[in-house]
Structure 1
Amino acid sequence: MAVATRLMGEYDVPEGVDIRGRYDEGFAGILTREALQFVADLQREFRGHVRYAMERRREEQRRYDAGGAPGFDPATRRVREGDWVCAPVPPAVADRSVEITGPVERKMVINALNSGAKVFMADFEDALSPSWENLMRGQVNLRDAVNGTISFHDEARNRVYKLNERTAKLFVRPRGWHLPEAHVLVDGEPAIGCLVDFGLYFFHNHKQFRASQGGGHGPFFYLPKMEHSREAKIWDGVFERAERWAGIERGSVRATVLIETLPAVFQMDEILYELREHSLGLNCGRWDYIFSYVKTFRAHPDRLLPDRVLVGMAQHFMRSYSDLLIHTCHRRGVHAMGGMAAQIPIRDDPAANEAALELVRKDKLREVRAGHDGTWAAHPGLIPAIAEVFDANMGGGANQIQTARREDARAITEEDLLQPPRGVRTMEGLRLNTGVGIQYLAAWLGGAGSVPLYNLMEDAATAEISRVQNWQWLRHGATLDGDGVPGLRVTPEMLARVLEEEMTRIEREVGKDRFQKGRYKEACKLFARQCTAPELNDFLTLDAYNHIVVHQPKAISKL
Structure 2
Amino acid sequence: MSAVLAESHQAGSDPVAIERTGNAGRASGIELLASIAGQELLLTPAALAFLAGMHRRFEAIRQARLAARLERQAAFDAGALPDFRQDTAAIRAGDWKIATLPAALLDRRVEITGPVDPKTVINALNSGANCYMADFEDSTSPTWANLLAGQRALRKAVAGTLDWMAPDGSKHYTLKPAEQQAVLMVRPRGWHLDEKHLCVDGQPISASLFDLGLFAFHNAQALAAADRGPYFYLPKLQSMEEAVLWNEVLDHIETTLGLAAGQIRVTVLIETLPAVFEMDEILHALQSRIAGLNCGRWDYVFSYLKTFRLHRDKVLPERGQVTMTQPFLRSYCDLLVQTCHRRGAHAMGGMAAQIPISGDAQANDAALAKVRADKLREVIAGHDGTWVAHPALIPLAREVFDERMPTPHQQHVLREDVLVIRDDLIKPSLGTITRAGFENNVEVCVRYLAAWLDGNGCVPIHWLMEDAATAEIARTQLWQWLHAADAGRDALHLADGTEIDFGLLDRALIGLPSKLADRINLPGASRINEAIGMLDRLCHADTLEEFLTLPAYKRLD
Aligned to 1:248: 259
Aligned to 1:498: 508
Relative contact order higher in (CA < 8 Å, ≥ 6 apart): 1
Aligned to 1:554: none
Aligned to 1:111: 123
Number of residue pairs matched by the alignment: 530
Instruction: Say which SS state the counterpart of residue 506 (structure 2) adopts.
Output: helix
Structure 1: runs of 5 or more not aligned: 7-11, 551-559
Q: Is the 8 A contact 1:141 1:150 kept in 2?
A: yes
Question: Aligned runs of 1:160-559 on 2, under 5 Å?
Answer: 160-165=172-177, 166-213=180-227, 218-394=229-405, 396-401=406-411, 403-409=412-418, 411-477=419-485, 478-482=491-495, 485-486=496-497, 488-508=498-518, 510-511=519-520, 518-548=526-556, 550=557
Q: Say if 2:151 is the partner of 1:142.
A: no
Aligned to 2:23: none
Structure 2: runs of 5 or more not aligned: 1-5, 10-17, 19-25, 486-490
Counterpart Cα distance in 1 of 2:468 and 2:517: 22
Measure how far apart 1:110 and its partner are: 0.1
Counterpart Cα distance in 2 of 1:517 and 1:419: 39
Instruction: Say which SS state the counterpart of residue 242 (structure 1) adopts.
Output: helix
Q: Is the 8 A contact 1:435 1:506 kept in 2?
A: no
Q: Is the 8 A contact 1:101 1:121 kept in 2?
A: yes
Counterpart Cα distance in 2 of 1:273 and 1:129: 33
Measure how far apart 1:440 and its partner are: 0.3
Residue deviations 1:177-227 (CA, integer Å, cap 9, x gap)? 0000000001001000010001110000011112233xxx62000000110
Q: Is the 8 A contact 2:447 2:524 kept in 1?
A: no
Question: Aligned runs of 1:21-32 on 2, under 5 Å?
Answer: 21-25=34-38, 27-32=39-44
Counterpart Cα distance in 1 of 2:414 and 2:539: 42
Question: Aligned runs of 1:30-49 on 2, under 5 Å?
Answer: 30-49=42-61
Q: Is the 8 A contact 2:459 2:466 kept in 1?
A: yes
Residue deviations 1:356-401 (CA, integer Å, cap 9, x gap)? 111101100000010000000000000000000001100x210001
Q: Is the 8 A contact 1:337 1:375 kept in 2?
A: yes
* Alignment-mate amino acid for residue 450 of structure 1: C
* Alignment-mate amino acid for residue 119 of structure 1: C
Q: Is the 8 A contact 2:450 2:523 kept in 1?
A: no
Q: Is the 8 A contact 1:76 1:270 kept in 2?
A: yes
Deviates more, 1:204-213 or 1:464-473: 204-213
Counterpart Cα distance in 2 of 1:237 and 1:308: 37
Instruction: Say which SS state the counterpart of residue 392 (structure 1) adopts.
Output: helix
Counterpart Cα distance in 2 of 1:155 and 1:445: 23
Measure how far apart 1:247 and its partner are: 1.7
* Alignment-mate amino acid for residue 19 of structure 1: L
TM-score normalised by length of structure 1: 0.93
Residue deviations 1:490-545 (CA, integer Å, cap 9, x gap)? 1111111111112321223x13x869961000011011111121000100011100
Instruction: Say which SS state the counterpart of residue 67 (structure 2) adopts.
Output: helix
* Cα 1:514/1:310, change in 2 over 3 Å: closer
Deviates more, 1:517-526 or 1:142-151: 517-526
* Alignment-mate amino acid for residue 261 of structure 1: T
Q: Is the 8 A contact 1:427 1:480 kept in 2?
A: no
Q: Is the 8 A contact 2:122 2:163 kept in 1?
A: yes
Aligned to 1:555: none
* Cα 1:453/1:182, change in 2 over 3 Å: same
Counterpart Cα distance in 2 of 1:499 and 1:230: 41
Deviates more, 1:445-454 or 1:347-356: 347-356
Aligned to 2:29: 16
TM-score normalised by length of structure 2: 0.93
* Cα 1:314/1:515, change in 2 over 3 Å: closer
* Cα 1:113/1:514, change in 2 over 3 Å: closer
Aligned to 2:167: 155
Counterpart Cα distance in 2 of 1:53 and 1:515: 36
Identity of aligned residues (%): 49
Residue deviations 1:109-130 (CA, integer Å, cap 9, x gap)? 0000000000000000000000
* Cα 1:310/1:192, change in 2 over 3 Å: same
Measure how far apart 1:408 and its partner are: 1.6
Counterpart Cα distance in 2 of 1:352 and 1:495: 30
Aligned to 1:89: 101
Measure how far apart 1:77 and its partner are: 0.2
Deviates more, 1:16-25 or 1:93-102: 16-25
Counterpart Cα distance in 1 of 2:157 and 2:507: 48
Please, which of 139, 147, 151 is the counterpart of residue 127 of structure 1? 139
* Alignment-mate amino acid for residue 459 of structure 1: D
Q: Is the 8 A contact 2:493 2:499 kept in 1?
A: yes
Q: Is the 8 A contact 1:507 1:515 kept in 2?
A: no
Counterpart Cα distance in 2 of 1:227 and 1:59: 12
Aligned Cα root-mean-square deviation (Å) = 1.7
Q: Is the 8 A contact 2:459 2:523 kept in 1?
A: no
* Cα 1:173/1:426, change in 2 over 3 Å: same
Counterpart Cα distance in 2 of 1:168 and 1:31: 27
Deviates more, 1:473-482 or 1:107-116: 473-482
Residue deviations 1:142-168 (CA, integer Å, cap 9, x gap)? 000000000000133611100112100
* Alignment-mate amino acid for residue 360 of structure 2: D
* Cα 1:517/1:505, change in 2 over 3 Å: closer
